[in-house]
Amino acid sequence: MIIILFGAPGVGKGTQAQILARNLGIAHLSTGDAFRTAIANKTEIGLLAQSYVDAGDLVPDSVTAKIVQEAMAASDFQNGCILDGFPRTQQQAAALDEILAAAHKHIHKVVNLEVDNETIVSRLMARGRQDDTKEIIQNRLNVYQQETAPLVEHYLHRGLLTNVNGIGTVEEVSNRILKAVQTA
Ligand code: AMP
């Protein structure tokens, strides 16, 4: 089962993707985590990605496709996975369709977590990751609006998108997501 957890930076995708993956017994792929690991290990992909991640810009699609393909080839992804932070552009959405078609898999659901901008900024400032400074947060939100938000329409047209309110306790939100995923 392939599920996309969608939403702006700071809506809680990472936390919720982990919980959902545990509940459904499937893998979790966060491209952000994968890039941070690659950067820490100074791999070729890490070196290519570093300046973009530091600035809060999107890593080029060609590099992102590589990290996704590598991760999805791993055996624990055969039963499906929760995609967290991918796709983020139209081109990535098309690349995902190709990867899935080749593996005879399809997207089960796209869960769009909705949180207002004010809450997002205060959540990210509290998290304090290296790319969580005020300036970089603003850039990531702008990039999200320009590059990623149009995918909401894309998946809505395909009948795959469900909006979920991302405000509440972690448990409240995870229960809403589980319900959304289990609804046909
Ligand atoms: P995240 O952990 O999802 O907030 O991602 C952190 C950073 O990793 C982003 O600001 C981007 O620089 C990079 N990144 C993560 N996922 C993608 C993606 N699908 N496409 C391009 N860049 C990405």
Q: Which of 42, 66, 129, 134 is catalytic?
A: 129
Give the distance (Å) from ligand 1 centre to CA of residue 29: 12
Is it the case that residue 163 has pLDDT exceeding 90?
yes
Position 84, amino acid: D
pLDDT category, 169, cuts 50, 70, 90?
Answer: very high
CB of 56 closer than 6 A to ligand 1?
Answer: yes
pLDDT at 40: 98
pLDDT at 176: 98
Among protein residues, the one whose CA lies closest to atom 19 of ligand 1? 86
Per-residue pLDDT of 13-30, as tens digits, reads 999 999 999 999 999 999
pLDDT at 55: 96
CB of 174 closer than 6 A to ligand 1?
Answer: no
Is it the case that residue 73 has pLDDT exceeding 90?
no
Annotation marks residue 129 as catalytic: yes
- The reported pTM is 0.96
Is it the case that residue 184 has pLDDT exceeding 80?
no
Is it the case that residue 90 has pLDDT exceeding 90?
yes
Rounded CA-CA distance 150/134 in Å is 24
pLDDT at 168: 96
Question: Which residues, other chains included, contact 148 with Cβ-Cβ below 8 Å and sequence gap of 6+?
Answer: 8, 88, 89
Is it the case that residue 183 has pLDDT exceeding 90?
no
CA distances from 6 to 12, 72, 160 (A): 10, 18, 12
